[in-house]
Amino acid sequence: MNSAHRCCEAERLCFSPDVTRCLCTGACVADCIRFAWFSRTLAVVCGYVYNSSMAHCIVPEAEEIIDKIIPVLDKGFVRLVDYMGGDARIVQSARVSYGEGTKTVREDGALIDYLLRNRHTSPFEQVELTFHVKLPVFVARQWIRHRTASVNEISGRYSVLKDECYVPLQEDIAPQSSDNKQGRRQEPFPPETSATIISEMKEAQVHAFKSYHSLLEKDLARELARINLPLSTYTEWYWKIDLHNLFHFLRLRCDKHAQKEIREYAEVILDICRRVAPLATASFEKHQKNGVSFSGEEMQALRNILDGKEPGLTGRDLSRFEEKIKTGRQL
Ligand SMILES: Cc1cc2nc3c(=O)[nH]c(=O)nc-3n(C[C@H](O)[C@H](O)[C@H](O)COP(=O)(O)OP(=O)(O)OC[C@H]3O[C@@H](n4cnc5c(N)ncnc54)[C@H](O)[C@@H]3O)c2cc1C
């Protein structure tokens, strides 16, 4: 996406015979200076407040990666298609009620941190990101549970699906965890066992796609031919979400409790957030991603410890409390 397109909203502020030109590109700056007074008047008449800091937020660090494919898993990817706003937009929208302008980066950072700590969430909703994601269906099933995004997915009724399936790396092939019914053990199988498992998985995928194509050749409708395809099949979607809800997604999906495969996507998206809104993302990591919340009883235990007393918790409550402090994980 080029910058002229990204700035197109600003056209309406531009006093230029060539209305397709944009205020934010160098081409029209001279015109705008020459007609600054007129532009301001025009802007106010049009219902705008003329202030260059209120126009489109262009974040250079985000521009560097926009449209670039970032590989995830064996055949998947994340691509930042577009973004609207960044740290500046959060600050602008939070300050709009006071009619205050932009301040120093330090002050902006402090304001963003205050908003995030105190769950003043709506300024974060002013920032939006659109991603193009290629992901296996079983990851998509987990991802789609986040209802606050807008999604457009490739249609297996409309298109013939590509023969592309996820195959885990050998080091990720691990037995069922004994203490977590939803997860796998840390230690993988020995390499020879993993190799056998991988070859069995690949064989089943090849077989499923062979049958898919055979059914299509019999002129079976695509919507029916696809129904035996595996969960490992790759799908693609456009996913648009605001920063507040994206942080919620990242808090849940970067967490160790989330399946490794979706975590890999979440980590890439977190990295993209660091570029689009670095101050907000730093606050999110500090207070939410790497922070934990304590219950009322646990708060009392902390107060007891500060007073030099025993925590006052016992059994599982005590071990969970200690584990939370040691690992920094929400348990
Ligand atoms: C590690 C892990 C394990 C999981 N295991 C399972 C499982 O075994 N089975 C299973 O079914 N799911 C499971 N889930 C999915 C989980 O229960 C949530 O559905 C998912 O994480 C989305 O969270 P959310 O609803 O908060 O997010 P979003 O849908 O993004 O919603 C964000 C917030 O908006 C509000 N909201 C959105 N829509 C509504 C609504 N319709 N009504 C009320 N409030 C709304 C809620 O406050 C919500 O927290 C798991 C998730 C994780 C992270």
Domain boundaries, the chain: 3-54, 60-152+237-289, 188-231, 296-327
Cβ–ligand 1 distance for 147 under 6 Å, the answer yes
Evaluate whether 98 touches 47 at the Cβ level (below 8 Å): no
Residue with CA closest to ligand 1 atom 40 = 147
Answer whether CATH 1.20.5 is correct for domain 188-231.
Answer: yes
Buried b (16+ CB within 10 A) or exposed e, 90-117: bbbbbbeeeeeeeeeeeebbebbbebbe
Cβ–ligand 1 distance for 145 under 6 Å, the answer yes
Q: Measure 146 CA to ligand 1 centroid, in angstroms.
A: 6
- Torsion angles phi and psi, residue 294, rounded to 5: -115, 145
- Torsion angles phi and psi, residue 126, rounded to 5: -75, -15
CA of 257, closest atom in ligand 1:
1
CA of 249, closest atom in ligand 1:
30
- Indicate the class that CATH gives domain 60-152+237-289: alpha beta
Q: Measure 142 CA to ligand 1 centroid, in angstroms.
A: 9
CA of 258, closest atom in ligand 1:
1
Q: Which residues are catalytic?
A: 253
Provide the pLDDT for residue 24: 39
Residue with CA closest to ligand 1 atom 28 = 146
Estimate the crossing angle of helix 296-306 against helix 315-327, to 10 degrees: 70
Mean pLDDT, rounded, of the chain: 85
Distance between CA atoms of residues 77 and 82, nearest Å: 15
Residue with CA closest to ligand 1 atom 27 = 146
- The torsion angle over the Cα atoms of residues 321, 250, 143 and 327, rounded to 10 degrees, is -30
Structure tokens at 287: 């207070």
3-class secondary-structure state, position 289: helix
Q: What is the largest CA-CA distance in the chain?
A: 77
For residue 163, CA distances in Å to 109, 112, 136, 322 come to 47, 45, 12, 48
Alpha carbon 319 to its chain centroid, in Å, reads 33
Cβ–ligand 1 distance for 324 under 6 Å, the answer no
Cβ–ligand 1 distance for 263 under 6 Å, the answer no
Cβ–ligand 1 distance for 248 under 6 Å, the answer yes
Distance between CA atoms of residues 96 and 100, nearest Å: 7
Cβ–ligand 1 distance for 257 under 6 Å, the answer yes
Q: Which residue has the tokens 């397709």?
A: 20
Q: Which residue has the tokens 């986040």?
A: 146
Beta strands in the chain (DSSP E): 69-72, 76-84, 128-136, 150-153, 234-242
Residue with CA closest to ligand 1 atom 16 = 145
CA of 259, closest atom in ligand 1:
1
Show pLDDT as tens, one digit a residue, over the chain (331 residues).
Answer: 333 333 333 333 333 333 334 343 344 444 433 433 444 344 333 333 334 456 788 999 999 999 999 999 999 999 999 999 999 999 999 988 666 666 677 788 999 999 999 999 999 999 999 999 999 999 999 999 999 999 999 999 999 999 999 999 999 998 888 888 878 888 888 999 999 999 999 999 999 999 999 999 999 999 999 999 999 999 999 999 999 999 999 999 999 899 999 999 999 999 999 999 999 999 999 999 999 989 999 999 999 999 999 999 999 999 999 998 888 887 8
Best mutation site among 139, 148, 329 for ligand 1, i.e. most ligand atoms within 8 A of its Cβ? 148
Q: Which residue has the tokens 């974040």?
A: 59
Evaluate whether 72 touches 264 at the Cβ level (below 8 Å): yes
Q: Which long-range contacts (CB under 8 A, 24 or more apart) does 251-255 make?
A: 251/284, 251/288, 251/289, 253/142, 253/143, 254/289, 255/329, 255/330
Q: Measure 144 CA to ligand 1 centroid, in angstroms.
A: 10
Evaluate whether 268 touches 104 at the Cβ level (below 8 Å): no
Report the helix count and the strand count for the chain, using DSSP H and E: 15, 5
Q: Which residue has the tokens 């071990």?
A: 319
Residue with CA closest to ligand 1 atom 6 = 142
Are the folds of 60-152+237-289 and 188-231 the same? no
Provide the pLDDT for residue 25: 39
CA angle (193, 194, 199) in 5-degree steps: 100
CA angle (248, 85, 154) in 5-degree steps: 65
